[in-house]
Structure 1
Amino acid sequence: MNPMKIAIAGASGRMGRMLIETVLDAEDTRLVGALDVAGSASIGNDAGLFLGRQTGVPIESDLAKSLKDAEYLIDFTRPEGTLDHLAYCEKHGIKMVIGTTGFDDAGKARIAEAAKKIAILFAPNMSVGVNVTMKLLELAAKHFSQGYDIEIIEAHHRHKIDAPSGTALKMGEVIADALGRDLKACGTFTREGITGERDPSSIGFATVRGGDIIGDHTVLFAGIGERVEITHKSASRVSYALGSLRATRFLADKANGLYDMQDVLGLKDK
């Protein structure tokens, strides 16, 4: 079986490097491209330099050069960059695994439109553990629909640029859907001053940013006399990278369509 030919966007970033290492170590994948923004100090370096390995794959800022041999692009960058990459991949038939967060509605619609032509897996978190947690939250929400206040607390490193995290928002969407609510209508994202009593139908969000926290998420179901907390904590980005390769393998026999990690794990109908 021929290895999957994979390119990595954001090649010199923390997640990009973890993805490169994971692709190099997997038996069924081959690194064929490494992409970074123009002006990056890493442009021209071998993609494996940070590991002390020679891969023969230079880090490029030119999409045509970086993606000329790619069948898949794994992209954990920023919305504006991912959408530029999306246009190229759509035109050239390159499948995408998108872990970028912070898209507005127009960006999400653009991804959905491109998925009519190419296969795309789009998820705010590629961790298997997080996605199983999503299923647990769906079940919990249905049973805690009355008499329980719901709060989502997330923590990430100081460099993260969007808040709440894409994972926290997805958790909120899963819970709201299970309760027959619209997160845009019931989500509470800020509290300050005299706020009045809590609206029992709301889903609250709290954000922490500091240090090198990879990603912690806790959903609190607070009732009278008891509370239930469902928590996922990431100790390493390797779980995101391993999940991304699992997602890439899932796309192997897909010509087009928009998928997420719930599809990969077979959790949507369970």
Structure 2
Amino acid sequence: MLKLGLIGCTGKFGKDIIKYILQSKTIILNKAIARQANQFVGHDISLLIGSNNTGIIITDSIKDAANCDVLVDCTNKETFINNLPKYEEILKPVVIATTGFSKDDFIKINQVAKKIPIVFSPNYSFGFYNFLETVKCAVSNLDRETDLQIIEYHHNQKKDSPSGTAIRILNAILESNPKLIDKNININSIRAGSIVGEHRVLLANCNNEEIELIHKISSRESLSKGVVKSAIWLCSKPNGYYSMDDVAKDLIQMV
């Protein structure tokens, strides 16, 4: 089976990915890596998820993942950019499972992608890509008199606002209907409680008509599933930068 190295294993998303991998029959968690001085370093990952001992000890060095087939980084944007030269050094495929990157960050990521396969998505839910196709269809022939609003909801610990997913929705709308490029499309960001993720696109015209499209995630399991399937998919790809669009085209029928 394929061996996966998880960087950022002690965060919420990292824990969810661990739980999903431990149930998988196609990939194993080979290395779990946290930042230096993290309280869990040196301990079994079972402490993170409340399970029996797994024999997988948390370490603090990315070099420990050199024998893995693929890496998943779910740290944060600053840590990921700092980790990038290390990924370039060990030459393993990398799934980026964090968001908030700047244009300069993506330039650096694309440079490294010339040497290793890298996939990035602001949202690893396969259902989201069905939603995105629906949104693109809905706005493709939209007239300029119709108002568009994007509303996104996330938990109160989420750092980036607007979310990477909301920005992806906006870009998809503009790609589908270039006539809307100079139209003011607002992204409304709401941070509350433990909301995993919800995105809405509202279309409203002056004829008392409204269309609202909604994608809602009630559990991070769907995101973990998308990350792991993307990691498996990436192992067979040549060097380059990939998006979830690329993954979804191949795998959405298999989910």
The answer, yes or no, to whether TM exceeds 0.5 is: yes
Shift of 1:54: 2.0
The answer to whether the 8 A contact 2:63-2:90 is kept is no
Where do 4+ consecutive residues of structure 1 move more than 6 Å? none
Residue 210 of structure 1: aligned partner: 192
Query: In the TM superposition, what is the alpha-carbon distance from 1:257 to its structure 2 partner?
Result: 1.2
Distance 1:36 1:182 in 2: 44
Is this contact kept in 1: 2:66–2:90, CA < 8 A? no
| 2:165 matched residue in structure 1 | 167
Structure 1 residue 181: Cα displacement: 6.3
Q: Please list every run of 5 or more consecutive structure 2 residues that lacks an aligned counterpart in the other structure.
A: 251-255
What amino acid is the match of 1:212?
S
| 1:111 corresponds to | 109
CA distance in 2, matches of 1:158, 1:90: 34
- In structure 1, the gaps of 5 or more residues are 187-200
Residue aligning to 2:233: 250
Find the counterpart in structure 2 of residue 99 from structure 1: 97
1:123 and 1:48 map into 2 onto residues whose CA distance is: 28
Q: Does 1:139 align with 2:137?
A: yes
Please tell me whether the aligned partners of residues 9 and 74 of structure 2 are also in contact (alpha carbons under 8 angstroms). Answer: no
Match of 1:230 in 2: 213
Question: How far does residue 12 in structure 1 lie from its aligned partner after superposition?
Answer: 1.0
Alpha-carbon distance in structure 2 between the residues aligned to 1:145 and 1:60 = 55
Question: Once the two structures are superposed, what CA deviation does each residue of 1:31-81 show, in whole Å capped at 9, x if it has no partner?
Answer: 11111122222111112332313222211222222x132221112221111
After TM superposition, the score normalised by the length of structure 1 is: 0.87
Aligned mates of 1:159, 1:38 — CA distance in 2: 22
Q: CA deviation at 1:130?
A: 1.0
For this pair of structures, how many residues does the alignment match?
Answer: 248
CA RMSD for the aligned pairs? 1.6
Structure 2: distance between partners of 1:41 and 1:243: 28
2:193 partner SS: coil
1:69-99 Cα distance to aligned partner (Å, 9 max, x none): 2221112221111122222112211101112
- Work out the CA distance in 2 between the residues paired with 1:55 and 1:111: 33
CA drift of 1:182 comes to: 8.7
Give the deviation of 1:233 after TM superposition: 0.8
Equivalent residue of 2:178, what SS?
A: coil
User: What percent of counterpart residues are identical?
Assistant: 31
Q: 1:48 maps to what in 2? A: 46
Deviation at 1:246, TM superposition (A): 1.5
Q: Which residue of 1 aligns with 2:177?
A: 179
- What is the TM-score normalised by the length of structure 2? 0.92
Distance 1:8 1:182, change over 3 A: farther
**Per-residue Cα deviation, 1:113-161 (whole angstroms, up to 9, x for no partner):** 1111111111100000112211111111212243211111011111111
Does structure 2 conserve the Cα–Cα contact (< 8 Å) formed by 1:33 and 1:69?
no
**Structure 2: distance between partners of 1:46 and 1:97:** 23
